[in-house]
Amino acid sequence: MKRLAVILAAGQGKRMKSKLYKVLHPVCGKPMVGHVSDTIRQVGVSRSIAVVGHGAEAVKAYLGDAAEYVLQSEQLGTGHAVKMAKELLAQENGTTIVICGDTPLVTAETLESLIRLHEERGAAATILTAHLDQPHGYGRVIRDASGSVAKIVEQKDCSPEEDRVQEINTGTYCFDNAKLFSALDRITNQNAQQEYYLTDVVGIMRGDGDNIEAYMTNDPAESIGVNDRVALSEAERLMRERIVRRHMLNGVTVIDPSSTYIGSDVVIGSDTVLYPGTVLSGGTQIAEDCKIGPNAELTDTIVHSGAEIKYSVLSEAEVGENTSVGPYAYLRPGAKLGNDVKIGDFVEVKNATIDDHSKVSHLSYIGDARVGKHVNIGCGAITVNYDGYNKSITEIEDHAFVGSNVNLIAPVKIGQGAYVVAGSTITKDVPDNDMAIARPRQENKTGYADKLRARAKAKKDRLNG
């Protein structure tokens, strides 16, 4: 049976008190509506309709071709929002998921179970529910004497007896698509909020003699809809715990889960160890047998097996096998390290490749450079890549040695096996196996230090009168 979806993403989210539209607030590095879109894709939805309103262009720019779009220019309730999709979906046959764009914790496994129950029972509607000890603020699922769903009552419309019910509506549903749009044509706004409630569809379907089912999730966290920064923080915490647990069950050692942050799209191989203070985000991919942290931050970075990174920041970089980075290194976009490379403390690498077995051990800047194999770059060496107008390339070929406090003024090439003497400022290419020295000859003036001290003392005596 065809699977369809309607994502409700039109709300402004005033309680967020933010310039950013509610569904675009990130949870574990991804906008909430992105989590929802990914989840429905995982259950095989063939058409996804996003109902947008406030911030429509921003939501569309983020989701792109992951959805089709309809505009709800006035927010007149959830039933009104779903009805906006009528022109696109009313002629379809199949099962339609309706889900809010601010419910990032709903899982694909739960949605699959919801859909399976819905289709097996031949239901007109199936509601995803949860049991909450403190259900205040949520719509209640009211069952009849036989246990079937009789109706859903919004919090503000609850009677005292209904208010004591602890089974709540999560706001996620499955519908028979044809029956959904038939019922939507009959809902009214005769309620406390004067809105068109999607929940009223359940009563209409029941009145038609249709079967209404409910599937209760085992994880009440999936019921969380994010309406303010407090709920956003709670969703972040719960998802982070879920992500860390998944990686640990897949063979990753996490020394302190409470201080480890892993984005939802991060991939980590088995037998990798994450130390406290590790932050992994974006599309970061870490292979097996790595050691990351403590206090390492990686964004959109690829790390190959056996690498070690500690007390360092890496962004859009690549680290080869058995390579070590840090402490206190900074790998900026375009940094690509080969195998068995060493990047030491206070080294910055930007838009540069450093090939196998090379070393930049400390206090250096390597930018816009191509460094070969078995190269040693000494303390304080710098590739001077920018003249105020243009950036130029430095090339250092295999087995070259660059001494401490060397300035390589790009564009320049250091040949294979060449040697650059410490303290040199190099402005011309150095041929293979040559030694380059570019510094003034040292001159010692005998006894001159005593003369300087005597002059300083005489000046001080004059000033003190």
The candidate with the shortest Cα–Cα distance to 103, out of 17, 38, 178, 190, is 38
Q: Is 10 labelled as part of a ligand binding site?
A: yes
Q: Is 410 labelled as part of a ligand binding site?
A: no
Give long-range contacts, CB 8 A cutoff, 24+ apart: 139-145. Answer: 139/168, 139/169, 139/171, 139/199, 140/165, 140/167, 140/168, 140/169, 141/165, 141/167, 141/168, 141/169, 141/214, 143/167, 143/214
Q: Is 404 labelled as part of a ligand binding site?
A: yes
Cross-strand pairs, 98: 6, 173
Q: Is 439 labelled as part of a ligand binding site?
A: yes
Which amino acid is it at 134?
Q
Q: Is 22 labelled as part of a ligand binding site?
A: yes
Q: Is 102 labelled as part of a ligand binding site?
A: yes
- Classify 451 as helix, strand or coil: helix
Q: What is the token pair recorded at 97?
A: 């998921």
Q: What is the token pair recorded at 347?
A: 């080294």
**In sequence order, what are the residues at sequence separation of 6 or more whose Cβ sits closer than 8 angstroms to the Cβ of residue 383?**
352, 365, 366, 367, 368, 369, 394, 408, 410
In this structure, what are the phi and psi dihedrals at residue 129, rounded to the nearest 5 degrees?
-120, 170
Angle of helix 32-42 versus helix 108-120 axis, rounded to 10: 50
Q: Is 356 labelled as part of a ligand binding site?
A: no
Q: Is 213 labelled as part of a ligand binding site?
A: no
Give long-range contacts, CB 8 A cutoff, 24+ apart: 132-135. Answer: 132/166, 132/168, 132/220, 132/223, 133/166, 135/165, 135/166, 135/167, 135/168
**Residue 219 burial class via C-beta count within 10 angstroms: exposed 0-12, middle 13-18, buried 19 and up:** middle
Cross-strand pairs, 213: 126
Q: Is 221 labelled as part of a ligand binding site?
A: no
Q: Is 323 labelled as part of a ligand binding site?
A: no
Count how many residues are written for the chain: 465
Q: Is 321 labelled as part of a ligand binding site?
A: no
Is 357 an annotated catalytic residue?
no
**DSSP character string of 247-295:** HHHTT-EES-GGG-EE-TT-EE-TT-EE-TT-EEETT-EE-TT-EE-SS
Q: What is the token pair recorded at 231?
A: 């709920």
Q: Is 87 labelled as part of a ligand binding site?
A: no
Q: Is 9 labelled as part of a ligand binding site?
A: yes
Whole-number Å distance between alpha carbons of 319 and 119:
48
How far, in Å, are 101, 295, 402 from residue 326 at the CA level? 40, 11, 20
Q: Is 214 labelled as part of a ligand binding site?
A: no
Q: Is 186 labelled as part of a ligand binding site?
A: no
Q: Is 139 labelled as part of a ligand binding site?
A: yes
Q: Is 169 labelled as part of a ligand binding site?
A: yes
CA-atom Rg of the chain in angstroms = 32
> Contact, 169 vs 199, CB < 8 A?
yes
Q: Is 332 labelled as part of a ligand binding site?
A: yes
In this structure, what are the phi and psi dihedrals at residue 268, rounded to the nearest 5 degrees?
-135, 130
Q: Is 227 labelled as part of a ligand binding site?
A: yes
Which amino acid is it at 165?
V
Q: Is 11 labelled as part of a ligand binding site?
A: yes
Catalytic residue selected from 118, 304, 362, 399: 362
Q: List the binding residues for Mg(2+).
A: 102, 227
Q: List the binding residues for acetyl-CoA.
A: 385-386, 404, 422, 439
Catalytic residues: 362
Q: List the binding residues.
A: 8-11, 22, 72, 77-78, 102, 139, 154, 169, 227, 332, 350, 365, 376, 385-386, 404, 422, 439
Q: List the binding residues for UDP-N-acetyl-alpha-D-glucosamine.
A: 8-11, 22, 72, 77-78, 139, 154, 169, 227, 332, 350, 365, 376
